[in-house]
Amino acid sequence: MDLIRTRIRDLRKALDSKEISAVELCGEYFKRIEAVDKDLLSYITVTKDEAMRSAENAQKLIDEGKSSALTGIPLAIKDNICIDGVRTTCASRMLENFIPPYNATVIEKLNAQGYVLLGRTSMDEFAMGGSNQTSAFAKTKNPYDLERVPGGSSGGSAAAVSASLAPAALGSDTGGSIRQPSSFCGVTGIKPTYGRVSRYGLVAFASSLDQIGPICNDTRDCAVILNAICGHDRHDATSAKAEVPDFTEKLGQPIKGMKIALPKEFYAEGVDEAVKDAVMNAAHELEKQGAVLVECSMPGLKYAIPAYYLIACAEAASNLSRFDGIKYGFRGEGRTFEELIRDSRSRGFGEEVKRRILLGNYALSSGYYDAYYKKALALKQEIIRQYNRIFEQADVILTPTAPTPAYKIGSQDSDPVKMYQADICTVTVNIAKLPGVSTTCGYTESGLPIGMSIIGKRFDETTILQCADAFEQGFVPVAPKL
């Protein structure tokens, strides 16, 4: 079976019609992983034996006519989502041998559907980074150009889907970590509204910003996975009790009359001309379908990066304080309690993680809390107000996903601030707890993908999926040649 960019709905038809069995399909993906991933490095852990057993169980359900949307469908899972009995490393030496004794809620929901786990995808360590190069185990490369980054922190998930090493994957998004790698790798990824998907079992980076979401070959596949993983969870105090719609209900519906806002700050200096042109061309294509383009402004965008990194790093410093080498995780050496903790954290964490812990502790420290962290929280509220004003005159917002296409590996290693600035188009969505979907809207002259983001009102994923799908129906994506 041809696996290149095969969509979940096509695999569903093939499985239900007995064109291929779940075991055979699983085997085909592992053949491709073995052939391609030695160069790409998208997986940290491959779970072949477990997958074959799951595929056999899934096939029994299919034979009995009890299959659901994801029964027998192989998926890859980012390595910061806990799976009972399967190593979960967060791409860090600190958790190199950690095996969770429980499943994350999203995994329980996928298990209920009879999915098949292909493996754990690489990521930036503890989801901190935008390149996937801070991983301690597998520094993933971009399928379109192996000398370029796949984006991060969900770079392994995006690269695996892009290179057809999985038909879809789960990632997590704290400041663009699903959408930016989706843009760099030429696939579609959605960050749902904060609280739409349970975070129980997701190893926390920044608890007020983190959100699990799917990375797929197109918007329709994203909707299928959202249907499976969304919903209130009593294990997660931040889980929303909002009604969960059928996320496929608006797919294919016309977008005539839909108002699409174009905030001018997202198209200003610092955004590559090729990116601007591709996104604006996409806007005009949507306009041809009857959408109405609305010019607007979001002046608070210039404060988004400092506000985001102060909030995220402060929460990271708090969340990662539990990793001390005592109860679990990497244990260092030392004759005293303090020496043991110092050595464990110094050797267990990578440089980027330590940098963010230091920044977070500094922002929370006495004498600096009011000057930095408190002001960042005030900026958060202002950004929310500015989004609310835009949504008074528009249904969705259209922006570039990233200011540039994928950059060369190592080109930003000496300047972390430059890497942080690359998140300018995505972080406000997390700050305001909004849903956002990134899909490919064009390619550079050298063939690198360019992504656009469609941002919606809280809990209005169906509208942004409708808009993204409307564009995708007239756009022909180009898969990488691997």
Which tokens sit at 190? 């959605």
Count of C-beta atoms within a 10 Å radius of residue 273: 7
| 370-397: burial string, b at 16+ Cβ within 10 Å, e else | eebbebbeebbeebbebbeebbeebbbb
Residue 153 annotated among the catalytic residues of the structure: yes
Which tokens sit at 248? 């496929």
Task: Pick the catalytic residue from 21, 42, 54, 78.
Answer: 78
Residue 78 annotated among the catalytic residues of the structure: yes
Which tokens sit at 473? 């129906």
Return the C-alpha torsion angle 239, 242, 246, 252, nearest 10: -110
List helix spans (H) across 351-373: 351-364
Going by the DSSP 8-state scheme, the letter that residue 217 receives in this structure is: S
- Rounded distance between C-alpha atoms, residue 314 and residue 209, angstroms: 12
Task: Pick the catalytic residue from 177, 182, 239, 453.
Answer: 177
Nearest to 436 by CA among 246, 78, 177: 177
Residue type, 213: G
Long-range pairs for 62-65 at CB < 8 Å and ≥24 separation?
A: 62/15, 62/16, 62/22
Biggest CA pair distance of the chain: 71
Task: Pick the catalytic residue from 153, 182, 239, 344.
Answer: 153
| Sheet with strand 292-296: strands edge to edge | 43-46, 116-121, 74-78, 168-173, 211-216, 188-191, 436-443, 449-455, 396-400, 259-263, 292-296
- Rounded distance between C-alpha atoms, residue 10 and residue 388, angstroms: 39
Residue 162 annotated among the catalytic residues of the structure: no
Which tokens sit at 354? 């330590």
Which tokens sit at 253? 């519906």
Which tokens sit at 41? 């490095």
Nearest to 180 by CA among 132, 250, 245, 109: 132
Burial of 10 (0-12, 13-18, 19+ CB in 10 A): middle
- Rounded distance between C-alpha atoms, residue 280 and residue 391, angstroms: 20
Catalytic residues: 78, 153, 177
